[in-house]
A and B are shown apart, each in its own frame.
Chain A
Amino acid sequence: MKSDKVDVFAYAERRERRKNSLRKSFSVTTFLGPYTASFLLFFVFPLVLGVIMSFSKFTAQSFLPSSVGTLDNYKILFSDTAIARDFRNSIWTTIKFSLAIVPLSILIPLGLALLINLKPPGYKFFRAAIYVPGIFPLTATGLILMRMFDSHYGFVNSVFDLTVDWFGSTGACWFMIGFFCVWCGIGGNFIILCAGLENVDKTLFEAADVDGCSAWKKFLHVTLPGIKPQLFLTLFTTLIGYMNVYGQIYILASNNPDLSSMKSAVYRIQDLLTGFNPRAFGYAAAMGIVLGVIIIFIAVIQLVVSKDKKGGGKRVAQFKQWKENV
């Protein structure tokens, strides 16, 4: 009799546990299900498909690969054909443009944030005014810019009596693209740096005042270390962002006679895709992967360097030691 009773309890407990775990897995499925499905379908699947596509042959008839297992797409990118030269040039263009625009996209907002941080009257309005051009569609602000800097009847050329063809000549066009990137692109960095400056420990400044530090010394030894996380964050996101530059060039340079030399890497990929010629999909996928690897490489370098700074140059020391041993 006794053993029977125990069995019943054990059974009830087992049942209860099973019911609970069933209920739990049911709610995990309902809550995580939609996201898991979309993550697999819209993130994982394209990623896998992209790798497969880059190793596939395409015919003009179908947007699905005709045969898989070839290195042709990559071989072409490193060969001496027009498409390969264009792509390699576009990568150089992208890197050069990024190296030019990233310092501006950090230093200008840093300067502005320092001014805001002095809290002059109306600083909230100024902060909003500097941020506002970036909220609009690039096509809208770009359209206005193109009209305002028009070579014949543009406001700027007429007022200053200039004859510069701002979008027709290559040098001036790059200048305008840079101007556009600063005008409509620094808002995020600017706000992040403003917030960083606001959070620097005020007592440090007081201590520096007591020690009689000059303003420059205070900036170098208190302000800059205080906003280091924000500086690294903005550097990281801005550089990666501009390695993907497309819109600004597409909008401002589309009438430039020298457009093909101004195209960025993403522009080249976009060109292959807008034609929707299935034959080009293999190249486009391979180009995407090559560019992606370059971007990840840059990101890793940045991460290592920034870790170094935080870790007191541990890695530099390691590297020096390793070099000595070699």
Chain B
Amino acid sequence: MLRSSSNGKKTSKTVAFVSLLIISILFLLPVIWGVVGSFRSSEDFFNHPESFFPSSWDAFTFDGYAELFSKTEFVSSRANEWYPIWNWLVNSLIVSVGGTLIYLLIASLAAYAFVFLEFKWANRIFYFLICTMTIPGIVSTTPQLINMNLLGAYKSLAGLIIPSFGGVYGVFLIRQFFLSIPKDLIENARMDGAGNLRIFLKIVLPLGKSALFVQGLFGFMGAWNDVQWAQLIVGSAPRSTWTLAYGLKVISDQCEAYESITLALASAVIAMIPIFIVYLVTQSKIIEGVANTGIKR
């Protein structure tokens, strides 16, 4: 009886292993094809489209990257083929890292106030904030664009950063974490004469590091991958103010002709590298953070 059930378990494990192996390969295949393809010559795609890897050692080149980097400077005779990818990279970094750090500061200050400063109606105000989360973002897309125009942030990176500062979700997540910090700790510090700012910096922030980190990761990835808002804010600005994710769309549209396929793939790889590094380093935190959204409610 026992043996048959353990045998059954073994078979089901084997079946799971084989099917997961196949599925993971299928999931990774396009990414690998794109990364490998960025090192192939365009003629090789043309002559050996059925080959997954470069068909010969000669077909293995850095042409795509060389071509891409040769088009980073503005030349008026071919303005349409101006891909200032370093600007895009820096812009994407400014928007995703800078915007996330400022929002984390604003949101954690607010979360501290909601949890540790017992002011009037703290909970009521907080529940009101939670209720506003049900309003779909599309309702305020159009007016937000006008708002950015009024603030002079249209066609600039600031317009990509500041709208996120009003977000409720980060305050909600950070507050949930702060709630688990023992109140005695804060009271003791107050008895010792520490001010709120000192308590915030020396006790609450170090304890809440992991919550801030997870929220920061999501903010970073969201900003790095955003296309929709970037299209509205910087899409009609000079190319040097675009972000990487938006620039890629234009490269993709303009490289329909087959000669530049390696250029297109090379730019995709450049956009994928930073986020992949972040993912590799913080993988367990990201997965834990996503998993927690389903558990702790």
CB contacts under 8 Å to B, within A130-169, are 130-133, 135-148, 152-155, 157-159
CB contacts under 8 Å to A, within B187-206, are 195-197, 200
Evaluate whether A28 and B227 lie within 8 angstroms (CB atoms) in the complex, with A47-B135, A129-B24, A285-B143 already known: no
Query: Is A102 an interface residue, CB under 8 A from the partner?
Result: no
Evaluate whether A281 and B146 lie within 8 angstroms (CB atoms) in the complex, with A47-B139, A112-B23, A121-B17 already known: yes
Distance (whole angstroms) from the CB of A51 to the closest CB of chain B: 8
Tell me if A296 and B252 are in contact (CB < 8 A).
no
Q: Which residue of B113, B129, B139, B271 is within 8 Å of A140 (Cβ)?
A: B271
Q: Which residues of B are found within 8 Å of A250, using beta-carbon distances?
A: 227-228, 249
* Total count of chain B residues near the partner, CB < 8 A: 102
Distance (whole angstroms) from the CB of B63 to the closest CB of chain A: 15
Tell me if A147 and B37 are in contact (CB < 8 A).
yes
Distance (whole angstroms) from the CB of A302 to the closest CB of chain B: 12
Tell me if A143 and B268 are in contact (CB < 8 A).
yes
Instruction: From B69-77, B78-86, B289-297, give the one contacting chain A.
Output: B289-297
Tell me if B24 and A126 are in contact (CB < 8 A).
yes
Tell me if B31 and A144 are in contact (CB < 8 A).
yes
Q: Which residues of A are found within 8 Å of B28, using beta-carbon distances?
A: 129, 132-133
Q: Which residue of B142, B163, B200, B272 is within 8 Å of A137 (Cβ)?
A: B272
Evaluate whether A47 and B140 lie within 8 angstroms (CB atoms) in the complex, with A137-B275, A147-B34 already known: yes
Distance (whole angstroms) from the CB of A234 to the closest CB of chain B: 8
| Binary interface encoding of chain B residues 254-285 relative to chain A, with 1 for a CB under 8 A from any of its CBs, else 0 | 00101001001101110110011001000100
Interface of A is mostly: helix
Docked CA distance A39–B163 (Å): 9
* Total count of chain A residues near the partner, CB < 8 A: 105
Docked CA distance A151–B46 (Å): 12
Docked CA distance A209–B248 (Å): 54
Query: Is B14 an interface residue, CB under 8 A from the partner?
Result: yes
Q: Which residue of A31, A47, A139 is within 8 Å of B227 (Cβ)?
A: A139
Q: Which residues of B are found within 8 Å of A31, using beta-carbon distances?
A: 109-110, 112-113, 117, 196, 200
Tell me if B235 and A154 are in contact (CB < 8 A).
no
Docked CA distance A199–B30 (Å): 33
Q: Which residue of A42, A53, A195 is within 8 Å of B146 (Cβ)?
A: A53
Distance (whole angstroms) from the CB of A292 to the closest CB of chain B: 4
Q: Which residue of A196, A229, A233, A285 is within 8 Å of B142 (Cβ)?
A: A285
Evaluate whether A131 and B287 lie within 8 angstroms (CB atoms) in the complex, with A45-B147, A251-B252 already known: yes
Tell me if B17 and A137 are in contact (CB < 8 A).
no
Query: Is A220 an interface residue, CB under 8 A from the partner?
Result: no
Chain B CB count within 10 A is highest, among A123, A145, A273, for A273
Distance (whole angstroms) from the CB of B104 to the closest CB of chain A: 11
B45 (CB) vs chain A CBs: closest residue = A153
Docked CA distance A254–B231 (Å): 14
Distance (whole angstroms) from the CB of A232 to the closest CB of chain B: 10
Q: Which residues of B are found within 8 Å of A145, using beta-carbon distances?
A: 30
Interface of B is mostly: helix
Instruction: From A6-14, A240-248, A312-320, give the one contacting chain B.
Output: A240-248
Tell me if A191 and B290 are in contact (CB < 8 A).
yes
Evaluate whether A136 and B138 lie within 8 angstroms (CB atoms) in the complex, with A35-B171, A126-B24, A192-B294 already known: no
Q: Which residue of A40, A133, A158, A193 is within 8 Å of B30 (Cβ)?
A: A133
Query: Is A66 an interface residue, CB under 8 A from the partner?
Result: no
| Binary interface encoding of chain A residues 107-139 relative to chain B, with 1 for a CB under 8 A from any of its CBs, else 0 | 000001001101111110111111111011111
Q: Which residues of A are found within 8 Å of B166, using beta-carbon distances?
A: 38-44
Distance (whole angstroms) from the CB of A27 to the closest CB of chain B: 4
Tell me if B290 and A269 are in contact (CB < 8 A).
no
Docked CA distance A147–B269 (Å): 13
Distance (whole angstroms) from the CB of B86 to the closest CB of chain A: 17
Query: Is B19 an interface residue, CB under 8 A from the partner?
Result: yes
Docked CA distance A155–B33 (Å): 9
7 A-B pairs with C-beta separation under 8 A: A49-B146, A140-B34, A143-B251, A191-B290, A195-B295, A233-B297, A244-B138
Identify the B interface with A (CB < 8 A).
Answer: 5, 12-14, 16-17, 19-21, 23-24, 27-28, 30-31, 33-34, 37, 45-46, 49-50, 52, 105-107, 109-110, 112-114, 117, 119, 129, 132, 134-147, 149, 162-168, 171, 195-197, 200, 221, 224-225, 227-228, 231-232, 235-236, 244-246, 248-249, 251-253, 256, 258, 261, 264-265, 267-269, 271-272, 275-276, 279, 283, 286-287, 290-295, 297
6 A-B pairs with least C-beta separation: A42-B166, A195-B291, A144-B34, A192-B294, A35-B110, A43-B166
With A31-B112, A143-B251 known, 14 other A-B pairs at CB within 8 A are A28-B119, A32-B114, A35-B107, A38-B165, A45-B143, A112-B20, A115-B19, A120-B20, A133-B28, A137-B248, A234-B294, A240-B136, A265-B138, A295-B138
